[in-house]
């Protein structure tokens, strides 16, 4: 439904000043139980404890939850998913890094397209619709931000979100 609303230009996004640190810490804590089901954990490295950004906190939580749950799903069992926040060039940068197999080069250009799912590794099962990253990209852009990723096969994937700072710490 979110994807349909976005495509029709009817998605409601209510931007307000948000304490990024508090919101990101809550996201990590909310998904810790999910990570524990995989024997894994989420660590949050907060290098921007006073950053304030103007965005929709519910939509940012939706994006972060998608990135963290993907990172947990695609990492080996008993691994650590890293999330961090830092400020650079008047922007808040939020990163999520997994320890998975990485995204094959042939799939990287399609990763934000709707219904695209990565081919699972033989030892893993990844149920899903293939909509999470597509919706996340559109939500980030709707809120005036940018999303990007870097990935190397065998070394995992890192997603980064960038938002303009409302208050530069």
The string of pLDDT tens digits covering residues 82-138 is: 999 999 999 999 999 999 999 888 888 888 887 666 655 445 555 555 678 988 999
pLDDT averaged over the chain?
Answer: 88
Separate counts of helices (H) and strands (E) for the chain: 6, 7
Taking the C-alpha atoms of residue 156 and residue 168, their distance in angstroms, rounded to an integer, is: 31
Name the residue among 141, 165, 23, 157 with its Cα closest to residue 93: 165
Entry pTM: 0.89
> Which range is least confidently modeled, 64-68, 115-119, 143-147?
115-119
Which segments of the chain does DSSP mark as H helices, in order? 2-7, 20-30, 32-37, 57-74, 105-108, 132-142
* Confidence check: pLDDT of 1 > 60: no
More confidently predicted of 138 and 159: 159
pLDDT of 120: 52
CA atoms within 13 A on the CB side of 162: 8
Span 43-50, mean pLDDT?
A: 96
């Amino acid at each position: 439904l979110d994807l349909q609303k976005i495509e029709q230009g009817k998605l409601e996004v209510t931007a307000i000043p948000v304490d990024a640190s508090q919101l990101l810490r809550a996201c990590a804590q909310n998904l810790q139980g999910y990570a524990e089901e995989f024997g894994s954990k989420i660590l949050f490295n907060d290098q921007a404890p006073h950053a304030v950004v103007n965005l929709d906190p519910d939509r940012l939580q939706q994006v972060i939850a998608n990135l963290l749950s993907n990172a947990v799903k695609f990492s080996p069992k008993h691994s650590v998913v890293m999330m961090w926040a830092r400020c650079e060039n008047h922007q808040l940068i939020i990163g999520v890094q997994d320890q998975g197999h990485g995204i094959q080069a042939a799939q990287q250009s399609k990763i934000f397209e709707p219904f695209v799912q990565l081919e699972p590794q033989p030892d893993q099962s990844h149920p899903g619709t293939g909509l999470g990253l597509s919706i996340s990209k559109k939500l980030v852009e709707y809120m005036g931000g940018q999303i990007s990723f870097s990935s190397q096969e065998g070394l995992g994937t890192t997603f980064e979100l960038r938002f303009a700072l409302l208050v530069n710490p």
